A and B are shown apart, each in its own frame.
Chain A
Amino acid sequence: MRVGVIGVGCTKFGVLERTIQELAFEAVKEAVEDAGVSREDIDISVVGTSNTRGYELMPAVPINEYCGFAGKGPIRVEAACATGSAALYTAYSSIVSGMADIAIAIGVEKMTEVTTPTSLAVGGRSGSYLWEFHQYGTTFPGYYAMHASAHMAKYGTSPEQLAMVAVKNHKNAAKNPKAHFPKEITLEKAVASRYVAYPLKLFDCCPISDGASAVVLASENKIKELGKEAVWIEGIGFSSDTANVAKRGDYSGLKATVEASKMAYKMAGIEDPLKSLDVACLHDCFTIAEIMAYEDLGFCKKGEGGKFVEEGRSDFGGDIPVNTFGGLKAKGHPLGATGLAMIYEAVKQLREEAGELQVDLKNYKALTHNIGGTGHFGWVFILGV
Chain B
Amino acid sequence: MFIEGRELTYKHNIPVTKVEKYWKGLEEGKIYGTECKNCGAKYSPPQADCSVCYSSDMEWIEISGEGEVVCMTEQYSFPAGFEFLNEPYVIAVAKFGDFKVIGWTKEKVFVGDKVVAETEKDETGVWKVYFKKV
A121 touches B111 (CB 8 A): no
B13 interface residue (CB < 8 Å to A): no
For residue A115, which residues in chain B have a CB less than 8 angstroms away from its CB?
A: 80
Give per-residue flags for A219-242: 1 if the beta carbon is below 8 A from chain B beta carbons, else 0: 000000000000000000000000
B14 touches A197 (CB 8 A): no
Helix, strand, loop or mixed for chain A's interface? helix
B77 touches A196 (CB 8 A): yes
Q: Number of residues in B with C-beta < 8 Å to the partner?
A: 38
The smallest C-beta distance from A76 to any residue of chain B, in angstroms, reads 20
CB interface residues, A 128-151, toward B, < 8 Å: 128, 130-139, 141-143, 145-147, 149-150
For residue A118, which residues in chain B have a CB less than 8 angstroms away from its CB?
A: 80
B102 touches A132 (CB 8 A): yes
The smallest C-beta distance from A157 to any residue of chain B, in angstroms, reads 12
State the CA gap A247–B76 with chains docked (Å): 25
CB interface residues, B 1-44, toward A, < 8 Å: 2, 5, 14, 16, 43-44
Q: Which residue from B43, B45, B72, B83 sits with its C-beta under 8 Å from A149?
A: B72
A186 interface residue (CB < 8 Å to B): no
B128 touches A136 (CB 8 A): yes
A245 interface residue (CB < 8 Å to B): yes
Given A137-B81, A141-B73, A198-B73; 15 other pairs, CB 8 A cutoff: A116-B77, A117-B83, A137-B75, A138-B102, A154-B111, A195-B88, A196-B76, A196-B77, A197-B75, A244-B45, A244-B102, A245-B71, A245-B102, A246-B44, A251-B71
Residues of chain B touching chain A, judged by Cβ–Cβ distance below 8 Å, are 2, 5, 14, 16, 43-45, 70-83, 85, 88-89, 91, 93, 100-104, 110-112, 126-129
12 contacts between A and B (CB under 8 A): A116-B77, A130-B16, A133-B79, A135-B128, A135-B129, A136-B128, A137-B75, A142-B91, A145-B74, A197-B75, A197-B76, A245-B71
